[in-house]
Amino acid sequence: MMRRVRATRPAVLALVLVATVFAVDLCLPLGVASAVPYTFAVLIALGAKPAWVGPTVAVLCAVLTFAKMEIVPERGNTEMWKVIVNRCLALFAIGMTTLLGVLRRRAEAKVRQHEADLARMSRLAVAGELATVLAHELNQPLAAVCLQADMAALLATESTSGELRAALDEVAEQSHRAAEIVRSIRHTVRRTSAERGSVDLNEVVRVVARLLDWRARRTGVSVELHLAADPLPPTYGDRVQLEQVLFNLLQNAIEAVEAGSGPRTVVMETLPEGDWLTVRVRDTGPGLADPKRAFEQFYTTKPDGMGLGLAISRSIVVTHGGALTAATRPEGGAELTCVLPIYREEKA
């Protein structure tokens, strides 16, 4: 029973112990001896949540240690200076116990954080291996799908309905995109140099919006493009990877709007700012629960999410010399901002 109370209500148990010790201290001239049970109470309180309970109980013990002198003077012929010294020793014991307890609690928190980091790294390693295996296994089937999709699009005759031809074109485009993503993963795993070059962000945004147009239309989400006037200065990087980043941002925005009950609008905006290019994705969804944790690996608020999309996206943007940030808009919804450097060719 006592063990159960100590595990579930450490603050209550500590306060009961403090009250008992103070009552006994009022009756007996224990002097420094009263510090011993007070330190037990502090140790018990240090295990309580929130963290301020332990130090608060320690302060209470210290106050009661000296308050007893005013309420019930020490009996017998003990000189006052000895009483004060004993009480100071008691105060020292309480203080040292509190300090050591707080340091131990911080050390335990660091150990737990370190263990969580190791577990996260282990899961990342497993995810990397799975991605490698999937990229290898999906390469041939995707090549066959691309070929069959192209053949189906070519075999479509004039009598074929426009909707069917549009569907075939969509199948062909999406399959080629999937093949490009798999090829990019295989390049990354092989540690070969990525196929980098100048990238037109306006064009990337148009491609991504076109790829997700079917989903936006199906769910009644309006995707508005506010693109900077052409020609927009290019950035430098892997076009497929940058497409994947903006694809993730737009897809997340559409899913957020789907989950809400307000306006169903997503805005993608591009603009040059000095030596940088900015892409903003704004939505009218419920906003981010914790923007600081949005890019944390395996952190997700989606029931079926893995918490890797934004983390991988930020990693890609950082490797391109840019930054990816998230914020909740004051008027509601979320805003993801991707900043990339403008590419300027060196003149000979």
Each residue's pLDDT tens digit, 220-233: 899 999 999 878 89
- Rounded average pLDDT over 153-182: 77
Q: Can you give the pLDDT at residue 264?
A: 87
pLDDT at residue 35 greater than cutoff 80: no
Specify the higher pLDDT residue, 100 or 306: 100
- Rounded average pLDDT over 275-292: 88
pLDDT at residue 299 greater than cutoff 80: no
What average pLDDT is seen over the chain? 80
- Name the band, by pLDDT with cuts 50, 70 and 90, for residue 202: very high
CB of 120 within 8 A of CB of 62?
no
Q: Can you give the pLDDT at residue 192?
A: 54
- Rounded average pLDDT over 192-213: 82
Lowest mean pLDDT: which of 87-91, 126-130, 344-348? Answer: 344-348
- Name the band, by pLDDT with cuts 50, 70 and 90, for residue 193: low
pLDDT at residue 135 greater than cutoff 90: no
pLDDT at residue 199 greater than cutoff 70: yes
pLDDT at residue 120 greater than cutoff 80: no
Lowest mean pLDDT: which of 8-22, 114-128, 274-288, 316-330? Answer: 114-128
CB of 332 within 8 A of CB of 262?
yes
* Chain segment 50-106, per-residue pLDDT in tens: 888 888 888 888 888 877 776 666 555 566 777 777 778 888 888 888 888 888 888
